[in-house]
Structure 1
Amino acid sequence: MTAAMATPSVILSSRKAGVVRLIGILGLVGGLAFLLVGGLGWTTVSSQLSDEDITVAEDASFLGGAPVVGPFSAYAQADIINHHAMEASGGKTYAQLEQDDPTRPTVMTASLLRASLFTSILAFGVSAFAMGVGVLVALFGWAILTLVPGKNATV
Structure 2
Amino acid sequence: MARAATVLAGQGPAIAVVSLGGALGAASRHGLSLLLPHAGGFPWATLLVNVSGCLAIGALIVVLTEALTAPPLARPFLGTGFLGGYTTFSAYAGEAEGLLSGGSIMLGGTYLVLTLLAALAAAWAGTRAARLVLARSNDGQPR
TM-score (norm 2): 0.35
Higher Rg: 1
Higher helix share: 2
TM-score (norm 1): 0.33
Q: Which structure is higher in RCO with an 8 Å CA cutoff and minimum separation 6?
A: 1
